[in-house]
Amino acid sequence: MKKLQCFNFIFIIILFAGCKKKSSDNPPVTPPPSSFNATLITLNGKQEASLDYNTNTIPIIKFSFTTAIDRASANSNVSFADASGNPVSFNTNYSNGDSVVIIQPTDSLQYLTKYILNISTNLKSKQGGSLKTAASLNFITQIDSTDKFERISDSALLDLVQQQTFTYFWDFGHPVSGMARERNTSADVVTTGGTGFGVMSIIVAINRNFISRTAGLQRINTIVNFLTVKCTRYHGAFSHWINGITGATVPFSQYDDGGDLVETSLLMQGLLCARQYFNTTDTNEVLLRKNINALWNAVEWNWYRQNGQNILYWHWSPNYNFQINQKITGWNEALIVYVLAASSNTDSIPKIVYDNGWANNGGIKNGNTYYGVQLPLGPALGGPLFFSQYSFLGINPHNLTDAYANYFTQNQNQSLINYNYCVANPNNYYGYSSIDWGLTASDDNVSGYKAHAPDNDDGVITPSAAIASLPYTPVQSMNAIKFFYYTLGNKLWKQYGFADAFNLKDIWFANSFLAIDQGPQIIMIENYRSGLLWNLFMSCPEIKRGMKRLEFQSPDL
């Protein structure tokens, strides 16, 4: 029995020893450090948005995490740069037991610049865990509100805008034809309607002593001679685009390779102003008047009724006839077409074409109120502002009425709706305000070119819209001019005046200048200041006769 007990005891000891050895060969597995997350990102105390705007240049940025951060890891896993990749130096601090990382740039950031701050998933906690999802913050710094140029009087500022913008038509006018290039990248492609604006701008430049009367007369004679001798006319109308060397038609689109009645009307508006301005017995001025009359009297307005319909058509092609089939109906920029067609000395249209074609027998009326302003005519919210500008470079809207509207009220109210819309800023576009407004057709950073309007808005402001509204909204337009010039400075103010457009939401400033946007600025500033072009155009005997035929009423008629 004792032997058996001893054996059992020895067996238990051996068994215990064996178990102990096995335990020491397989130590317990230590779980890996837990991953962690960012719980809150704030910019100057405000919770981040997808893209923050109007940030000051020394912002305080805080990233809050679910655990304490390894400081050494933070130094190598935080990147801070502008949108072009230029790095930003910054200081890093910590709070709340190192679970909050505080980042602030060492030096002031650039104004109106996009910045991107990223924290990568290689960031470690003090326990060695990794950030589960990368954290980032995008923001755009505020506009530098300081003046970029010395303050001058409002009158001197208007002089400056007119004079510098005029260089587009003068210095950059086509060296052979003298006509206005479509845009600053158009090489030899010149534009018919834009040339009409250019001719009116030359008159302003003479009147403001930017150039001499002799030099201006010579340039306009060059233009008129080129149009007369070199260019193809299509039942009296010119094409939209022309080669400035040869005079050959440059197709605007596949089927638009012939006469453009709207572009031709904008040209004739300018030429008739020149005919009235150069009114002396000087041989060259007499010749200019003669040649302008020949071009003016050659337009076959009734041809563009397409077989006698009571409406005018925009295009006619020798190859495609009226295939585009675009009717000229109101309300838009083309009132001038019907006024000129009714005023023709040789081929005038009857009033029924105006009433039926342009006014849609009263269907042109609107009467609704938008942003507190009633709109007499046209589409909802008024459309792009060139509607109230192109035809009224020459037609004086003051006290001008017919069966459908008071035209100063129409143009002023459209401008006010456009202004009030930008102030209300329903889409929350960065920058829109009482000093930064104006929607009209211009270049666009997304779609290339767009007829911007309250119902077709993507954040692009066109300086010409507010500037050429000066006769209708003098206070609002002057405030916009000052913002464009003093505040935006050389981001917008360039060789030929203000660049075509900009988008503060995307920090985009156009590099382009367009004849149809530069011209109205010069002309409508002058109409506001002196009424020069209004007085010239409304002094034409045939315009008085034609507008009376359409039953317009005005002190000018």
Q: Is the pLDDT of residue 58 over 80?
A: yes
Residues 51 and 199 in one domain: no
Residues 440 and 540 in one domain: yes
**Omega of the bond prior to 241 within 30 degrees of 0, cis?**
no
Residues 54 and 131 in one domain: yes
Check which CATH number belongs to the domain holding 459 and give it: 1.50.10.140
DSSP state at residue 484 = I
Confirm if 261 and 315 have CB atoms less than 8 A apart.
yes
Residues 320 and 346 in one domain: yes
Render pLDDT for 264-288 as a digit per residue (tens, 0 to 9).
999 999 999 999 999 999 999 999 9
Does 370 map to a domain? Answer: yes
Confidence of residue 7 (pLDDT cuts 50, 70, 90): very low
Render pLDDT for 73-114 as a digit per residue (tens, 0 to 9).
998 999 999 999 999 999 999 999 999 999 999 999 999 999
How many helices and strands (H and E) does the chain possess? 15, 22
Confidence of residue 14 (pLDDT cuts 50, 70, 90): very low
Residues 543 and 501 in one domain: yes
Q: Is the pLDDT of residue 2 over 70?
A: no
Confidence of residue 26 (pLDDT cuts 50, 70, 90): low
Render pLDDT for 161-202 as a digit per residue (tens, 0 to 9).
999 999 999 999 999 999 999 999 999 999 999 999 999 999
Render pLDDT for 529-547 as a digit per residue (tens, 0 to 9).
999 999 999 999 999 999 9
Residues 94 and 201 in one domain: no
Residues 190 and 91 in one domain: no
Q: Is the pLDDT of residue 48 over 90?
A: no
Does 27 map to a domain? Answer: no
In 158-312 the beta strands, taken as DSSP E runs, fall at 189-191, 241-243, 249-250, 259-260
**Residue 229, token pair as written in the block:** 């001798």
Render pLDDT for 284-312 as a digit per residue (tens, 0 to 9).
999 999 999 999 999 999 999 999 999 99
Residues 323 and 191 in one domain: yes
CA angle 221, 196, 246 (to 5 degrees): 60
Does 319 map to a domain? Answer: yes
Q: 91-97 contacts: CB < 8 A, separation 24 or more?
A: 94/69, 96/64, 97/68
Q: CB burial class (10 A; 0-12, 13-18, 19+) of residue 420?
A: middle
The domain boundary residue, chosen from 141, 174, 203: 141
Scored b (16 or more CB within 10 A) or e, 164-182 reads bbbbbbbebbbebbbbbbb
**Given this model, what pLDDT does residue 438 score?**
98
Residues of the domain holding 321 = 154-549
Residues 256 and 127 in one domain: no
Residues 173 and 55 in one domain: no
Confidence of residue 31 (pLDDT cuts 50, 70, 90): confident
Does 87 map to a domain? Answer: yes
Does 554 map to a domain? Answer: no
Question: How many structural domains comprise the chain?
Answer: 2
Render pLDDT for 207-238 as a digit per residue (tens, 0 to 9).
999 999 999 999 999 999 999 999 999 999 99
Residues 525 and 490 in one domain: yes
Residues 124 and 181 in one domain: no
Instruction: Tell me which residue of 460, 386, 369 sits closest to 422, measured CA to CA.
Output: 460
Does 135 map to a domain? Answer: yes
Render pLDDT for 114-172 as a digit per residue (tens, 0 to 9).
999 999 999 999 999 999 999 999 999 999 999 999 999 999 999 999 999 999 999 99
Percent of the chain beyond pLDDT 70? 95
The domain boundary residue, chosen from 106, 141, 176: 141
